[in-house]
Amino acid sequence: MDAPRAAAELQVSEDGLRVEAGWCKSLAASLAGNDAPTAAGSSVLASSAAVNAAHAGLAAASVRCAFRVQTTATKLVQASAGYGDNETSSAAQFRALRRVTVC
């Protein structure tokens, strides 16, 4: 799954951050939906036990990865709101400046 847009230079916008957050949420949901395969073969065999242990490890790693990606999505949503608030505040400050005329 590729990110919506990868660029050589950083271009930030409130909407762009929301798009990235949505992509991260989608990826987190996809990762969380990945289940380890069900146990194959007899559980008395050592190789079967090793495979089952590996599957359990992969499932745990998938859960941790999904959690981290979901956390990133949440941070991107927060950054988007902060970015929008900052842009609004900056625009208001510029509008409040008096226009200086030189005679």
Q: Helix or strand or coil: residue 1?
A: coil
Q: How confident is the model at residue 92 (pLDDT cuts 50, 70, 90)?
A: confident
Domain spans in the chain, listed from the N-terminal domain onward = 14-87
Q: What is the pTM of this model?
A: 0.52
* pLDDT for the residue numbered 5: 58
Burial of 17 (0-12, 13-18, 19+ CB in 10 A): buried
Residue 53 clears pLDDT 60, i.e. is over it = yes
Contact 1, 27 (CB under 8 A): yes
